[in-house]
Structure 1
Amino acid sequence: MPKTGWKYTKQAPNKGSTNMLKKSNASSKPNRRAPKKGDSNMRSSDTINRLKMYNNGKAIRNKEGTIVGGQFMMGDRAGDREITASTGRIQPDRRWFGNTRVVGQTELDKFREEMTSKVADPYSVVLKRKKLPMGLLQDAAIMHQEGNVKSGLLTNEPFEHTFGKGSRRKRVKLDQLLVGRTSVYDEQIDHDGKTKKDTLNYEPSIEGKAQVVEQKPESDEAGYAAIFAAAQKSKDTYDTVNNREGIVPWGRDSNLTKTEGEGVDWRHEKKADLFLKGQSKRIWGEFYKVVDCSDVILHVIDARNVPGTRCTMIEKHIAKNAPHKHLVFVLNKIDLVPNWVAKRWIGELSAVRPTIAFHASMTHAFGKGALISLLRQFGKLHSDKKQISVGVIGYPNVGKSSVINTLISKKSCKVAPIPGETKIWQYITLFKNIYLIDCPGVVVDTAGDTEEDSVLKGVVRAERLENPEDFVPPILEVVRREHVAAQYGLAKDGDDTWEDHIDLLEKIAKKSGRLRKGGDPCLRSAAIYMINDFQRGRLPHFVAPPELKEEKAEAPSTSSATLPGIKGVKQNLEEIEEKEFNKKDEQKADEDVVSESESEEEEEPEQPTKKKSKTVIASGDWD
């Protein structure tokens, strides 16, 4: 096929009336050229613009006939004119001629008081925080707080030192970071930088007003006593500041032990790496990811050991660094404790945060509807967001992944009765606007937990213990003798019962067939078997809740964190399917409680109810 085109045929294009660069003379062009010859009845520019208005100004309708567009609906046009600086108009409002929107100090004080009460209320939600002048409200409250320990912004950074010709270089001021920790040397210096007197033996100390050691003590004993007193006072001051700032020691150096021998010395107790699970930087990194990405945080707590599995450091961190996030307590595994224990703990925790009683199960769950209803309420509170994220945090082996699987009614997260099954965080879709985030279990070693406490909390796997037999006596101190005998089919009294934990492990090993060569009982296997039963709920136990008055328990139910039209969340704890225990043990426990309460009523008839409740808690009976 021959090639065509002027490049090949050497024929240039016609530059006559068909030139593309020439302006068009179409009838829709208002600035077209008039022809030299022919009809002179041409449309004027006004006529062309009017016809364009007829065509372009029509309303655009959808299939139902509703007007959805058109030139007259454009926000930047008024009729057929575009709104500009010259053609635009100002809204007629008398507020343009009055004062601007200002607020006085009286209104700020009133708003600050109301805001403080609402923020402190766990059942109130502050909406649109970004539109509130939180900086103006908090700066005045921080000024001269606690005896001028904390100062305002202008006290630390004067205006003339920050802007203008006298501005100084931006440097970190350690005296602002170490607030309230001035030394004696600082008191001897004027504001001009001149030293008053140098008669003291200066020892740089960060704590506040430490005792200064004299240059020449009367004796060596007095000198050592003064040094010890100064160090002790420095430690007390650090503890006070740390508690106030929410800084708590945790990790490898959290436990202090007193050395034996000559002199008094305190050293950090070295923990084995096995008992440091859940405290690594990787785990804490995953935890902070979940906290940062979550709008609502579910703190899952084991109902059997509420004080041990409640992370107070995490609560302080969220209250200080992320107060806009909602923290909710989920009291899981309530089927493993009596109803009165669950009620007491719910009343205790509800005074601090909203609390939901929960039993994770794919078939017989409890609290699922209440928790979903609460999450839907948070979704309506944040209707300006397309979706909200709900992070699930807590200690290892408290049932975080089981709670998520119960909510979505399918096995989406890997679950196991051993700690450390969840390795990384993951997103799970609950609804189209609510997402759940599963988090690995974190261990906060703020209370200085011992190795026995870590095992009883379920943080450590029993099969990885070097000597699991050593952790059986703490279990026997918590679990009643009747429950141990009923679990392993042993006699609780008489000649056939056990004397100590070694004898008990031998009987359990022989009963379950855990034997070595020659028929010797395997104590290690029996101890692991017993520890697993304790962690997985086969051996009933619980930490006694504090005494709670009825009016205090009912107080949180009067207030609600709901919007108008949203029903409050209520739970009936009588519907909990408790674990079946020995009927004889329960009857005996009831008789003991009744007999003890009657005897105490005869001695002190003025306070019968209070004594009865104390007896129930102290005895630990499964009523």
Structure 2
Amino acid sequence: MATGKTEKARRVRQNDLRDGNLRVKGENFYRDAKKVKHLNMYKGGKAVRNAKGEVIKAAYLQDTKAPTARVDPNRRWFGNTRVIAQDALSHFREAMGDKKDDSYTVLLKRNKLPMSLLDEKDTAESPSARILETESFEKTFGPKAQRKKPAAVAGSLEELAQATNDDQTKFEEKQDLNATLGLMGGVDTDEFSAEAKEFIFSKGQSKRIWNELYKVIDSSDVVIHVLDARDPLGTRCQSVEQYIKKECPHKHLIFVLNKCDLVPTWVADVLFVNMVCLLQLWEIDFANYCVISFWNGAVACCAPFWSQRPGGLGLYELNESETWLFRSKRPYIRTTASCFPLLTFQAAWVKHLSKDYPTLAFHASITNSFGKGSLIQLLRQFSVLHQDRKQISVGFIGYPNTGKSSIINTLRKKKVCMVAPIPGETKVWQYITLMKRIFLIDCPGIVPPSTKDTESDILFRGVVRVEHVSNPEQFIPDLLAKCERKHLERTYEIKGWNNSTEFIELLARKNGRLLKGGEPDETGVAKQVITDFNRGKIPWFVAPPQDTEERTGEDKKAGYKRKRAEREERAEAAEQAEYEAEQEHDLLPKKQKV
């Protein structure tokens, strides 16, 4: 017998005919309170109308008739609500000026003071505040008014040329910012005609992608700007940074230099080494130069092409018969007692970018990552600083194929985002849970429009899929200019080319990529070379700019070394002259000796 029939018979036998829902007095016999609430949910939220369609009862929060409001006749309504003295305002302005430009200072709580009072126009250093010093009221208005002299833009041709260059730079920055604001839904009052460009090089600038970026920025408390360590300034979206600084000043922005394994250690990593034990390796010979670096807690020997910085820290010249390596797992390596101290130094790009925002070096890898602990610790600090929030969201933005999804997979230590070595794999934004109070947001790659970027720059930054590029041979000369000749010779094992055409022909014949009649496949070989360039097979990087202070210090050191060398040369010359004089004195006959 079925279970339902048995239960029904039990209820009839025990005179228990209730179905679990209470009946409400006055309701329909066939509807209980639960069913009535369910039907009222469908009926609710709408205005009640009569047969003529007139609104008898407005919907919830839709009534246009407001009750008569009465204001309490109190003089406090017409007085100042908050008053601040001028000296207190000046003190607050000075304190904010000291901390505003510090990239490692976080504003936790804003005062109710209007921040517009802290603008430069109210300070004594602003041009508007010093107008009475140059043009007094008596000399401008009244009977003693003097004729106003025309204000000259420049006093010489050099100043005029410099002013023209500055105006051109400001115009280009304004043009890029207006284009970015136009894509992000802002107001673009200036209409500039864009340069004619192939459609494939406009990837990353569609409305769909910028709408995704807007959602990520709007939903994030911390924005991580992922940069390519090989070209940080080229993959930096400065127009987006200005937008965040202007429209969302309460959001935190940090830089992450990804792919730092593709550049020398002195470019992207931060070394903290006190004492290094050397291991001697036999039967293997590298180049004459070898770079030493710390990698994920283990010391490793880096690639030979990382010796591009002659005389830099961490660069050691080796003999041809011996090579030094660190912590290798090969069985024929034995330890020596040689130890030497290394000084601590900071990477150039990290030091340069840290002036604007906090910067971290990172290597995205699920099994062997670098910088993961530092990034997680930084995110934990942000979560601790914002204790008033239940959780914080961290958004990842940047150029396509810079490793945003790979960093998220590294932090989670498993594959939670789709990754690929081609741009455009991430289509929409995605929420990922890192911890209980920290959420990660993945964003598609964006390419801010810029008047300075050429088609070669866009292609070499990995924005465009190489297989969709027509006539890729035209970009090979720019590629050869970015790379050193010895790196290409070591990578492809070819020598003796004078231009890009000969390089493609030699590589095509070496790899056997020939067309009908023995002609080299220039298009296919060019696409392969560009792919190797973007994926890190060909070593290249943009050298970081050198600061003026560092340059001055190095010039002073060079001057000291030069003066010391001159003193040593003079001392050696004096010793040599004295020695020669003694030799001549010894060779003289005894009668001529004094």
TM-score between the two structures when normalised by the length of structure 2: 0.56
Distance 1:120 1:244, change over 3 A: farther
Equivalent positions of 1:50-61 (< 5 A) are none
Please report how far the alpha carbon of residue 101 of structure 1 lies from its aligned counterpart in structure 2 after TM superposition.
8.2
Deviations 1:573-604 (A, max 9, x none): xxxxxxxxxxxxxxxxxxxxxxxx9xx96997
Q: Distance in 2 between matches of 1:406 and 1:456?
A: 25
Aligned to 1:476: 480
The letter of the residue matching 1:105 is: Q
1:113/1:141 Cα in 2 relative to 1: closer, same or farther (>3 Å)? farther
2:257–2:359 CA contact under 8 A, matched in 1: yes
What residue in structure 1 maps to residue 186 of structure 2?
A: none
Q: Distance in 2 between matches of 1:484 and 1:607?
A: 40
Aligned to 2:85: 104
What does residue 463 of structure 2 align with? Answer: 459
Amino acid at match of 1:367: G
Match 1:319 to one of 239, 245, 258: 245
The aligned residue for residue 125 of structure 1 is 106
Q: Shift of the alpha carbon at 1:414?
A: 1.2
Select the residue among 364, 371, 377 that pairs with 2:375.
Answer: 371
CA displacement at 1:352 relative to structure 2 = 1.4
Cα deviation for residue 607 of structure 1 reads 10
Q: Equivalent residue for 2:500?
A: 501
Deviation at 1:545, TM superposition (A): 0.9
Find 1:336's aligned residue among 262, 269, 279. Answer: 262
Q: Tell me, in whole angstroms, the C-alpha distance in 2 between the residues paired with 1:267 and 1:334.
A: 38
Residue 543 of structure 1: aligned partner: 542
1:134 maps to which of 109, 114, 128? 114
Task: Determine the structure 2 residue equivalent to 1:349.
Answer: 353
Q: Which moved more, 1:137-146 or 1:322-331?
A: 137-146
Task: Indicate if the aligned counterparts of 1:210 and 1:233 stay in contact, CA closer than 8 A.
Answer: no
Other-structure match for 2:575: none
* Correspondences of 1:121-520 after superposition (within 5 Å): 121-129=102-110, 131-135=111-115, 137-138=117-118, 146-148=126-128, 248=177, 250=179, 269-342=195-268, 343-490=347-494, 492=495, 497-520=496-519
Partner of 1:605: 562
Structure 1 unmatched runs, 5+: 1-19, 21-99, 150-207, 212-231, 254-265, 553-596, 609-623
* RMSD, aligned α-carbons: 3.9
Shift of 1:323: 1.2
Of 422-431 and 519-528, the range deviating more from structure 2: 519-528
Alpha-carbon distance change, 549 to 361 in structure 1, aligned in 2, over 3 angstroms: farther
Q: Deviation string for 1:110-155 (max 9, x for gaps)? A: 11221232222111111122x4323464468558985449xxxxxx
Q: Distance in 2 between matches of 1:541 and 1:233?
A: 34
Instruction: State whether residues 176 and 450 of structure 2, in contact with CA within 8 Å, keep that contact through their aligned partners in structure 1.
Output: no
| Equivalence for 1:532 | 531
In 2, Cα distance between the equivalents of 1:480 and 1:245? 36
Give me the identity figure in percent.
Answer: 50
Matches of 1:607 and 1:334 in 2, distance apart? Answer: 38
Shift of 1:543: 0.7
The answer on whether the counterparts of 2:430 and 2:442 sit within 8 Å (CA) in structure 1 is yes
The separation in 1 between residues aligned to 2:357 and 2:100, in whole angstroms, is 12
Residue 400 of structure 1: CA displacement? 1.0
Q: Which moved more, 1:234-243 or 1:425-434?
A: 234-243
- Secondary structure at the aligned position of 2:234 is classed as helix
How big is the shift at 1:250?
4.4
Q: Distance in 2 between matches of 1:278 and 1:473?
A: 25
The DSSP-based 3-state class of the residue aligned with 1:418 is: coil
Deviation at 1:247, TM superposition (A): 6.5
Task: Quote the offset at 1:433 in angstroms.
Answer: 0.9
Q: Distance in 1 between matches of 2:544 and 2:219?
A: 33
Determine if contact 1:246/1:317 at 8 Å carries over to the other structure: no
Instruction: Give the C-alpha shift of residue 302 in structure 1.
Output: 0.7
What is the alpha-carbon distance in structure 2 between the residues aligned to residue 607 and residue 382 of structure 1? 56
Tell me the distance in 2 between the aligned counterparts of 1:298 and 1:290: 11
Q: Give, as a single letter, the amino acid of the residue that structure 1 aligns with 2:103.
A: P
Label 1:106 to 1:346 Cα distance change in 2 as closer, same or farther (>3 A). same
Shift, 1:485, TM fit: 1.5
**CA distance 1:456–1:247, shift in 2 (3 Å):** closer
Task: Please give the alpha-carbon distance, in whole angstroms, between the structure 2 residues aligned to 1:459 and 1:398.
Answer: 9
Q: Deviation string for 1:436-470 (max 9, x for gaps)? A: 11111111233521111111111111111110111
User: Retained in 2: the 8 A contact 1:246–1:313?
Assistant: no
Call closer, same or farther: CA 1:105–1:388 in 2, change over 3 Å: same
Q: Contact (CA 8 Å) 1:249, 1:446: kept in 2 or not?
A: no
Match in the other structure for 1:201: none
Change over 3 Å in CA distance of 1:500–1:326 after alignment to 2: same
1:337 Cα deviation (Å)?
Answer: 0.7
Check 1:271–1:419 CA distance in 2 against 1; reply closer, same or farther (3 A cut).
Answer: same
Between 421-430 and 512-521, the greater mean CA deviation after superposition:
512-521
Q: How far, CA to CA, are the matches of 1:136 and 1:364 in structure 2?
A: 48
For structure 2, the residue ranges without an aligned partner over 5 or more in a row are: 1-24, 26-80, 130-149, 154-160, 183-191, 269-346, 566-594
Following superposition, the deviation at residue 520 of structure 1 comes to 3.3
Q: Distance in 2 between matches of 1:479 and 1:287?
A: 33
| Alpha-carbon separation, structure 2, partners of 1:139 and 1:305 | 35
**Structure 1 residue 283, shift from structure 2 partner:** 1.6
Higher relative contact order (CA 8 A, sep 6+): 2
Aligned to 1:555: none
1:355-388 deviations in whole A, cap 9, x for unaligned?
1010111111000000000000000001110110
Alignment: residue pair count: 371
Q: 1:243 to 1:472 in 2, by over 3 A?
A: closer
The answer to whether the 8 A contact 1:329-1:353 is kept is yes
Tell me the distance in 1 between the aligned counterparts of 2:489 and 2:169: 48
Question: Contact 1:426/1:439 (CA < 8 Å) preserved in 2?
Answer: yes
The residue matched to 1:306 in structure 2 has which SS?
coil
Stretch deviating more after TM superposition (305-314 or 322-331)? 305-314
Question: Quick check: 1:387–1:433 contact (8 Å CA) kept in 2?
Answer: yes
Query: Cα 1:508–1:336, aligned 2, differ >3 Å: closer, same or farther?
Result: same
1:613 equivalent in structure 2: none
